[in-house]
Amino acid sequence: MNYPDPGESPQPYQPYVVPQAAVPSKPRPGRTGVWVGIGLLIAAVVVPIVLVVTLIVPAFGGDRDEFSADGARHSLSLPAGEKYALFVPSSGDGFLHDVPSCVVAATGGRPITVRRPSGEVSLNGWRVFGTFDTGSGKVDVTCTARSSDTTLRVGKYPEIGKAVGGIFGAIGAAGVLGVAGIVLIIVTVVRRSRR
């Protein structure tokens, strides 16, 4: 083996090694993810409320004109081109014992067809017994019943499909936004704790 002679001096030239600077560590992730997650959680509450107010409540049409089935003509001003319904109070046994007979006409006297609903539609103790299209919006309604003190209502026909869609949309929006917010907060907190 070749060993250096102890009397020899070390090599005159030693390669210069540049000292390496400390590599800066990656900065900790910011809190932006937490704030965005909180925003998503707030949206998970607000968006369903907005959907309920804008889709579900109008689907059941809150405004109703009330009158008696006394055989007198009742002139109504309704929104044009809408589907409206004639309502009678529901009896306790679920049957309509005294279904009024109603004639709906446009202001000029042109009759408007009153159709029986295809199924049973009840809303807040009132049952739909006929539907009609409002046409221009100015209609005359004349109804008779066995009892002249029978109270009737005319109101917007409940849009069940729109209401069901609004309910599922509200539930879906709350679920998606809520889960996304929680996941984002957890990921951000875990990443911050590792740095």
Q: Which amino acid is at 159?
A: E
Is 61-158 a CATH 2.10.270 domain?
A: no
pTM, entire model: 0.59
Task: Break the chain into its structural domains and give their ranges.
Answer: 32-57+163-194, 61-158
Q: CA of 134: how far to CAs of 10, 63, 99, in Å?
A: 109, 15, 21
For tokens 């009840």, name the residue: 122
Backbone angles phi, psi at 66, to 5 degrees: -115, 140
Q: What is the pLDDT along the chain (195 residues), one digit of tens a residue?
A: 566 666 666 566 677 777 777 776 766 667 888 899 999 999 999 999 888 887 777 666 666 778 888 888 888 888 888 888 888 887 665 556 567 888 999 877 888 889 988 877 777 778 888 899 988 888 998 888 887 778 888 888 877 777 788 889 889 999 999 999 999 999 988 887 776
